[in-house]
Amino acid sequence: MKSRSAITAAGLLLAAVASAATPVGTWTGKFLIKMPVLPPTMPAPQRTKILGMLNEMKAGKLILTMKADKTYTMTAVGMPSFPKSVNKGVWSQTGDTVNVTDAKPGSKPQSFKMSKDGRTMVYTLPADKGAMRFTR
C-alpha cells in the first residue's frame, strides 16, 4: 500500500513537471508604456522627438523567437527609429519565470513572468514605466 502511494505521488509530480509551460516558440509582443510627464520647460523639438519615439514603440511590435537550444532572437517591427533592432541571447526558465540575457557583453538578465497556460509572458519595465507583453 505504501509503495502504491509513493508511485502515485511520483507519477503526479512527473505529470506536473512535464506539463509546465515552456517558452519555446514564437511570441508577438507590444510595449505597454506609461507616458511620462515631460517638464514644461523642455524645448519643443526635444519634446516632439521623445513623444514620437514613445508613440512609435507603442504602435510597433516585437517578435520574440525562443528556441529549444535555449537561445532567442527579438526583432522590433514597425518602429522606424529602431530600423535594425535585433537582440540575440540565451534564456533559462525556473517555474513561471523566464530570464533572457542579451549576448552583448555586460548584459543582465531580464525576468519575464509566464502565465500558467503558457500563452502570455510579461516583462515589467524598470521604475514602473510600463511593460512588454508577449502572447502566442
- Residue 67 belongs to some domain of the structure: yes
- Residue 14 belongs to some domain of the structure: no
Please tell me the pTM assigned to this model: 0.74
For residue 11, the model assigns a pLDDT of 43
- Residue 89 belongs to some domain of the structure: yes
**What does the pLDDT average to over 15-36?**
78
For residue 8, the model assigns a pLDDT of 46
Q: What is the pLDDT of residues 44-103, one digit of tens each?
A: 999 999 888 888 888 889 999 999 999 999 998 887 777 777 899 999 999 999 999 999
Mean model confidence pLDDT for the chain: 84
CB 31 within 8 A of CB 60: yes
Read off the CATH number of the domain in which 74 is found.
2.40.160
- Which residues, other chains included, contact 1 with Cβ-Cβ below 8 Å and sequence gap of 6+? none
For residue 69, the model assigns a pLDDT of 98
- Residue 100 belongs to some domain of the structure: yes
- Residue 3 belongs to some domain of the structure: no
Q: Report DSSP letters for the chain, one per residue.
A: -HHHHHHHHHHHHHHHHHTS----EEEEEEEEEPPP---TTS-HHHHHHHHHHHHHHHHSEEEEEE-TTSEEEEEEES-TTSTT-EEEEEEEEETTEEEEEESSTT---EEEEEPTTSSEEEEEPGGG-EEEEEE-
Q: How far apart are CA 103 and CA 90, in angstroms?
A: 7
Domain count of the chain?
Answer: 1
- Residue 121 belongs to some domain of the structure: yes
Higher pLDDT among residues 36 and 48, named by residue: 48
Residue 105: domain span: 23-135
Cα atoms in the Cβ-side hemisphere of radius 13 Å centred on 78: 14
- Residue 2 belongs to some domain of the structure: no
For residue 20, the model assigns a pLDDT of 65
Task: Assign 2 a pLDDT band (cuts: 50, 70, 90).
Answer: low
- Residue 13 belongs to some domain of the structure: no
Higher pLDDT among residues 134 and 81, named by residue: 134
Q: How far apart are CA 127 and CA 25, in angstroms?
A: 29
